[in-house]
Amino acid sequence: MRKFIERALGKLQKLDEEQISALIYQIAKENEQLEMVLDSMTDGVIVLDQSHRITLCNKAAERLLPLTTADVEERAVWSVIGDREVAEFLHRSLVNEDKVKDKEYSVEAGGGVRVLTFSIMPLVQEGEIQGQLLHVEDITERRGKEARLRRAESLASLTTLAAGVAHEIKNPLGSIGIHIQLIQKSLKTPGRTDKKTVGHYLDIVNEEVDRLNRIVVDFLFAVRPMDARLQEGNPNQVIADLLEFVHFELEEGKVAVDSHLSENLPAVEFDEKLLKQALLNVINNAVAAMPYGGRLTVSTERRGEVVLIRIIDTGTGISDENMAKIFEPYFTTKEFGSGLGLTVVYKIVKEHGGEISLKSKEGEGTTFTISLPIPQKELRLLGLQREEA
């Protein structure tokens, strides 16, 4: 229909009165259909001209946003938004011509608080920007479901941790009980108390108490919130320092190291102490998977909006059955492992807003990939540098 209207407008001077009336009717009908589509959407859509004035606002936007007036057309969008924080954000973003995607705000509207995301996109026609499109989405229900899911996952994790702790402390407690009974038996036998034997029993009790203490310390670290103090920096330096730190241990284990650290790595935010601990845990796992030696490869690179850190070993690999359990608390395939090493790694990476994944094949080795987000201002600077180039 639109092509028909465009062709008819091109021949407007040749049309008679009846044809012009029919053309106006078709234009009005198409415009009415467009308004009907926009008003049927559950997401808010606001169209702005080049001066950031509203030229179109659908029903969903009117319902979701706290508007200060019903007559919003031809007004600057920030001047009709009742929420000051949102109004200031829109004014700043539009004036600075920032690209915005899914910026979240909690807004009071319709008698309750809703979580809304805002995205700003340019309106382009024939290669030229004619204005902006403001998209508003209500994600209140989604965030509620995510919060309930997180609570359920936290409860499940806590249950697993509690079960793991109960299992871990059972053996040392049993050993302590047995040796205390042996000490009591020895002390109750007049004239037959052997100080050397009693001392040996007490040494075992002390060892088991230390073991219990380590279990409790590991458990508390796994469940307590982390005090991550994020600062911008280059993770290459952290990795280089860590590889130097474990240099002799790797040599003793006959593990060769390949380091491929990208020279032009953008800054990311991380807590140096926690990041070192996470990487050390992964490296220790890699070394344990290569009992007869092998090769450890550590690399970094920028991929889109994240920095990737890869740690690759040529060890025994992980079975498909164990892949899904690898980050679960107290899951371990080691004879004397605590089962919390990779749980802690997962927690640290999440504290940094990152992701961790692994790829493995039995007999061939394992690859751990940690992705850390590049700060938004760093992304904008990179974009400006590319445009200037």
Reported as a single tens digit per residue, the pLDDT across 313-365 is 999 888 777 776 666 655 555 544 455 678 788 888 988 889 988 888 888 89
For 155-211, write each residue's pLDDT tens digit.
776 676 677 677 778 888 888 999 899 888 888 776 666 778 888 889 999 988 988
Beta bridge partners of 295: 256
First-to-last alpha carbon distance for the chain, in angstroms, is 43
Residue 69 has pLDDT above 90, yes or no: no
Q: What percent of the chain has pLDDT over 90?
A: 21
For 248-305, write each residue's pLDDT tens digit.
989 988 999 999 999 889 999 999 999 998 999 899 889 988 989 999 999 999 988 8
Query: What is the rounded CA–CA span in Å between residue 30 and residue 23?
Result: 11
* Per-residue confidence (pLDDT) for residue 336, from 0 to 100: 46
Residue 127 has pLDDT above 90, yes or no: no
The secondary structure of the chain in percent helix, strand, coil, rounded to multiples of 5, reads 50, 25, 25
| CA-to-CA dists, residue 233 to 79, 227, 268, 270, 272, angstroms | 39, 18, 6, 7, 9
Q: Is the dihedral of CA 84, 89, 94, 96 positive or negative?
A: positive
pTM value? 0.50
Beta bridge partners of 312: 297, 367
Residue with tokens 């201002």: 377
**Is 231 strand, coil or helix?**
strand
